[in-house]
Structure 1
Amino acid sequence: MAEYPRDEFDDLAPTGRKGAHRRDGGPTTQAGAIALVAILAIAALLLVLGAINIIRSSTADPEEQVAEQAPTAESTADPTAEEDTSVDIDQVEKTAEVTVLNASGVSGAGGAFGDAVEEAGWTLGRVGNHSTSDTVSSIHYADEASAEEAQALGELLGIADIELSEEFTGDITVVVCSDIANDPPAPAGTGDAAEDTGA
């Protein structure tokens, strides 16, 4: 066997390295692998649960859901809502002057409704004719102070369209149209003077 002369590489101290291609599998590497597997397992479980919930909600019967919600909607409705707006005509303080305008084309309708207003205790102002394309009678009051009286007049005359309005100058103006012109409340007396004017 050939012998070579000794050089500086023969005097290097041992390092304990085994080569770059080798690596010991210590506890740290195993713990990292376990943690990665656990994270992937949790993520897969969450995906499965989410998919189950989506499938369950998409296969639910929409008619059953509507049926379950229907009683809730009905329970929120107040069956006495319209009754709460009623006003006792006899208890209302009648301070407003009421104008009655006949827009129905029915002769004498203004006078008949004017008589009913006066008989109920209001001060009757002008009774005359009015031109409008409306076919539904209405009551117009000039300010909020007359709102309760206007509501009471609506109940007396059978008029549901009651509004705060600047269209007329009087305290309260009743516009009688064709929907009620032939069915006025029956007062104790009749107003011949109003009928003579065609109102």
Structure 2
Amino acid sequence: MADYPKDEFDDLPATGRKGAHRRDGGPTSQAGALALIAILAIAALLLVFGAINIIRTSAGDPEEKIAEPTATAEPTSEETTEEPSVDIDAVEKTAAVAVLNASGVSGAGSAFGEAVEGAGWTVAQVGNHTTADTVSSIHYSDPEFEAEAQALAELLGVTDVEESEEFTDDITVVVCSDIANDPPTADGAAEDPGA
């Protein structure tokens, strides 16, 4: 080997350094790591409890979340013009009726479909429907079905009756949460809620 002259780099002090990027682990670095782990654990627990709370409060009967009206104002003389009462038995029942459950109440569509069928109409379909409305409605496709739609409205306790091209059946009953728990019986009488 070559023999080089001695210089200042040959006499280095003895230290524990293994490289410039290495640092001795001291109590401050361990405390920082423990603090980070504790903060992450607390954040995870808060997320879990928050998710459980959201799931618990959103689950349940949607009927319980709808506020009941506290008081109704007396109608003024301008508001008292009501539709004339329709005799359900006198109406010719030729329309095909669809009953759609938009209430979220299981079985409401079937119960209202049975009442419509029991009153003499042909029920073309019973199904589910999605809508943001909370008030039930009856839609008829042609003016010739208006009298039947009014008679159905009286039978079922629906106040919103309109001509509409939104549905394909002659008459479509959209059952919402306002009447879903009180379907009429097949003879047209309202069911006893205590039964």
Q: Which amino acid aligns with 1:122?
A: W
Match of 2:107 in 1: 108
Q: TM-score, normalised by structure 2?
A: 0.55
Query: Which digits, 9 at most, give the CA deviation of each residue in 1:54-74, with x for residues without a partner?
Result: xxxxxxxxxxxxxxxxxxx96
Q: Does 1:93 align with 2:92?
A: yes
Tell which has more relative contact order, 1 or 2 (C-alpha 8 A, sep 6+). 1
Counterpart of 2:148 in structure 1: which amino acid?
A: E
User: 5+ residue gaps in structure 1?
Assistant: 1-72, 189-199
Structure 2 counterpart SS, 1:163: strand
- In the other structure, the counterpart of 2:174 is 175
- Equivalenced residue count is 112
Which SS does the other structure have where 2:130 is aligned? coil
The CA deviation at 1:187 is: 1.9
Aligned to 2:139: 140
Q: Which has the higher helix share?
A: 1
Question: What root-mean-square deviation, in Å, do the aligned CA atoms of Structure 1 and Structure 2 show?
Answer: 1.8
Structure 2 match to 1:36: none
- The equivalent residue for 1:151 is 150
CA distance in 2, matches of 1:159, 1:94: 18
Pairwise mapping of residues 5-84 of structure 1 onto structure 2 (< 5 A)? 81-82=81-82
Match of 1:105, as an amino acid? G
Q: How far apart, CA to CA, are the structure 1 residues paired with 2:138 and 2:173?
A: 5
Aligned residue identity for 1:118? E
Q: 1:90 to 1:134 in 2, by over 3 A?
A: same
Uncovered stretches (5+) of structure 2, i.e. residues with no partner: 1-75, 188-195
Measured after TM superposition, the shift of residue 78 of structure 1 is 9.6
Query: How far apart are residue 158 of structure 1 and its match?
Result: 0.1
1:119 and 1:161 mapped to 2: Cα distance? Answer: 22
Q: Residue 25 of structure 1 corresponds to which residue in structure 2?
A: none
Residue aligning to 1:117: 116
Tell me by how many angstroms 1:116 deviates. 0.3
Partner of 2:162 in structure 1? Answer: 163
Once the 2 structures are TM-superposed, how far is the Cα of residue 129 of structure 1 from its aligned partner? 0.3
Give me the whole-angstrom Cα distance separating, in 1, the residues matched to 2:134 and 2:79: 30
Q: SS of 2:148's equivalent?
A: helix
- What is the CA–CA distance in structure 2 between the aligned matches of 1:185 and 1:78, rounded to whole Å? 27
Q: How big is the shift at 1:91? A: 0.3
Identity across the alignment (%): 70
- Which amino acid is 2:175 matched to? V
Larger of the two Rg values belongs to structure: 1
Shift of 1:85: 1.8
For residues 66-100 of structure 1, give each alpha carbon's deviation from its aligned partner in whole angstroms, at most 9, with x where no partner exists: xxxxxxx96xx696x42x52110000000000000
**Who is 2:53 aligned against?**
none
Alpha-carbon separation, structure 1, partners of 2:122 and 2:168: 15
